[in-house]
Amino acid sequence: MAKPTILISIDTNAETEAVAFGQAFIQSLCDEDKRLVPEWLSTTESYKDPFLGIDDFLANWWAIPVKTTVDGQSRPDSFDGPFWKRKSSFVSRGMVNHGITDLWNHRNSSGLWFECRWAKDVDFNHLFDAWVQLSRPAIGMLHVFTAPELHWQDYAADTSFRVGSFGGPAKPGLPNIGWAMAYGAGYAAEVDTARIRAGGFLVDEIDGVTIVRVTEKLSDVVDDFDHFSRRRAELKTLFRPGLFWITQEPSDRKII
């Protein structure tokens, strides 16, 4: 049986390459639990370099300038972000994809991504809230994937949900609802907070970002997936039809 796996995925328009952003981001990860501190670093997923502490991480790994040209024109500076990994018994990995500013001065969103083996005594919800407060996401998700959702990937939406990929401008909508979703200003019209609260769901506001949680505790996904699944189906009815690509729960579909 597949082991439960935590996923945090955030798209943000914040200037993630700023040192102050990087400081707050990596500090929150290291302070949350010593088992989350990175062990190995890379920019290509080769992971040959050890994590030497926060100061070294910020100076040499957080935002590496990249100068490129397009059709002979110099593009505004872009930055490569870090990949990190733990290879110990408490396995985790993460990456930061800094948004690129194109020749027309349009900035694409940055991505924060973190995957970790589930542990009930690690407060992943607290870490998610810290990153939401820091980044003010356009959209973000915290979820723990268990066997029912790790085993079926029968079309593209399942894969997008599993890897924490959001639709973006080219494909409006979202793959699915994770245990906690952070909706930024661009989704404000989609979230009827009064209706969602009336349905018994937890709704919080952090600096203009609305966080909706399916159940009271993240561990509910692991301990009672059927209950979580029923509540997620109920929550989905409180949003407009078509916003979420996946309309069925695992129990309603054939597992492959």
**Within a 10 A sphere around the Cβ of 102, how many other Cβ atoms?**
12
Q: What are the pLDDT digits (tens) for 139-166? A: 999 999 999 898 655 567 888 999 999 9
For the question of whether the overall pTM of this predicted structure is more than 0.75, the answer is yes
Write the pLDDT tens digit of every residue in 58-79. Answer: 999 999 988 776 666 656 578 9
**pLDDT tens, residue by residue, 99-124:** 987 666 677 899 999 999 999 999 99
Mean of all residue pLDDT scores within the chain: 90
| 122's tokens | 């690690």
Query: What does the angle CA 160 – CA 164 – CA 214 come to, to the nearest 5 degrees?
Result: 105
Task: Output phi, psi for 177, to 5 deg.
Answer: -95, 125
**Average pLDDT of the residues in 21-26:** 98
- The token pair at 55 is 């100061």
